[in-house]
């Protein structure tokens, strides 16, 4: 059998973001779940992006992905404006408010996978409407491992579709407040139990700057976040984490719990770099050696 062209397919949003933090405002910068996730995964494995942009999408952004060796055969450019999102962070940077969401070309997006991508052993269904995630799942042939992400919006407006697609995936990731919203349970362990009952073997709950937890039916694994001196923009941190995790898992060729735990460390450390600057600005300057050095430093911090 010939090796697939990409080892990991990532589908998600591609956006032009305007972001305001307590100290800085940045307009029209590159964002979206697929953009962050593919950038992170590209440090570890050959990654293919599936998404949509409008005819207004700057060529410089496409060049950014191309220099990271992200395969763009699954990227559609259609007549119209690119998806836009803007948000403002609160003083503590933990919470933010969405100021506007313009779906634009995203409104009629139907993700179509290039033939090669259908054979990729690893698939990350990034944050888009669950009906579209399902449409992608229907196109892939026998993937080894599928991770799905979501957000509060889909839990609120498309919970049935979401529940259906979660049941077909190996692993679900969502953040703490989303797990509470979905299940109505405040306890993380109770929420995880309920989510595991939907079908996935693994549930990964992200707790922002407080790290993350991986749950299975038998046990739980707690991973702290790398303590940063300072950071500029947490937008896309969860997508960077998940993309790095899936990239590292695909590079290992494995899907077992030990491999997932190791991959979580790589995802978390890659995300710690991502938030140091806005958009992909830090990730485009990052190299694999820097990731390895920080991983070692992190492991030393956790040694007991
Ligand atoms: P996160 O910080 O993980 O919520 O991811 C932020 C990214 O998600 C931004 O770059 C946005 O462009 C993108 N985004 C915001 N709203 C949506 C939405 N409704 N669907 C898909 N992507 C979105």
Residue 92 pLDDT: 86
Atom number in ligand 1 closest to CA 129? 20
Q: What is the pLDDT of residues 15-58, one digit of tens each?
A: 999 999 999 999 999 999 999 999 999 999 999 999 999 999 99
* Residue 222: pLDDT band with limits 50, 70, 90: very high
Contact assessment for residue 231 and residue 24, using Cβ atoms and an 8 Å cutoff: no
Tell which one of 30, 31, 40 to mutate to probe ligand 1, the residue whose CB is within 8 A of the most ligand atoms. Answer: 31
Q: Tokens standing for 140?
A: 């892939």
- 243-250: average pLDDT: 98
Ligand 1 lining (C-beta closer than 6 Å) = 13, 15, 17, 31-33, 85, 101, 127-128, 153, 235-236, 238-239
Q: Tokens standing for 37?
A: 């996730």
Residue 112 pLDDT: 96
Q: Which of 29, 47, 30, 28 shows the shortest CA–CA distance to 38?
A: 47
**At the topology level of CATH, where does 8-151+218-302 sit?**
3.40.1190
Q: Tell whether pTM > 0.85.
A: yes
The stretches of the chain forming alpha helices (DSSP H) are 33-41, 59-67, 130-137, 152-157, 159-166, 176-183, 188-196, 237-252, 257-274, 288-302
Task: Using the predicted structure, report yes or no on whether residue 218 has a pLDDT greater than 80.
Answer: yes
Overall size of the chain counted in residues: 304
Nearest CA to ligand 1 atom 4: 236
The stretches of 130-226 forming alpha helices (DSSP H) are 130-137, 152-157, 159-166, 176-183, 188-196
Kindly list the domain boundaries of the chain, sorted by start residue: 8-151+218-302
* Residue 2: pLDDT band with limits 50, 70, 90: low
Nearest CA to ligand 1 atom 15: 85
Task: Using the predicted structure, report yes or no on whether residue 1 has a pLDDT greater than 60.
Answer: no
């Amino acid at each position: 059998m010939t090796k697939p062209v990409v080892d990991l397919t990532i589908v998600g949003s591609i956006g032009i973001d305007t972001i305001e933090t307590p100290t800085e405002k940045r307009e029209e910068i590159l964002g979206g779940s697929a953009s962050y996730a593919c950038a992170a995964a590209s440090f570890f494995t050959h990654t293919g992006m599936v998404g949509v942009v409008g005819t207004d999408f700057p060529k410089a952004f496409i060049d950014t992905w191309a220099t990271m060796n992200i395969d763009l055969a699954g990227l559609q450019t259609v007549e119209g404006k690119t998806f836009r999102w803007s948000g403002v962070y609160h003083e503590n940077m933990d919470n933010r408010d969405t100021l506007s969401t313009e779906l634009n070309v995203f409104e009629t997006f139907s993700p179509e996978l290039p033939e090669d991508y259908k054979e990729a052993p690893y698939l990350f269904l990034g944050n888009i409407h669950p009906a579209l995630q399902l449409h992608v799942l229907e196109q892939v042939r026998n993937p080894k491992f599928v991770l799905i992400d979501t957000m509060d919006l889909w839990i609120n407006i498309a919970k049935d579709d979401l529940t259906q697609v979660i049941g077909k995936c190996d692993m679900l990731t969502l953040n703490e407040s989303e797990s509470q919203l979905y299940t109505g349970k405040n306890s993380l362990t109770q929420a995880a139990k309920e989510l595991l009952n939907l079908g996935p073997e693994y549930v990964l709950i992200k707790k922002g700057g407080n790290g993350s937890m991986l749950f299975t039916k038998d046990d739980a694994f707690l991973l702290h976040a790398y303590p940063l001196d300072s950071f500029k923009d947490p937008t896309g941190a969860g997508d960077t984490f998940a993309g790095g995790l899936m990239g590292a898992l695909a590079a290992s060729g494995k899907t077992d719990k030990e491999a997932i735990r190791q991959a979580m460390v790589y995802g978390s450390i890659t995300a710690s770099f991502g938030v140091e600057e806005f958009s992909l600005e830090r990730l485009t300057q990052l190299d694999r050696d820097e990731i390895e050095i920080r991983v070692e430093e992190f492991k030393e911090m956790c040694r007991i």
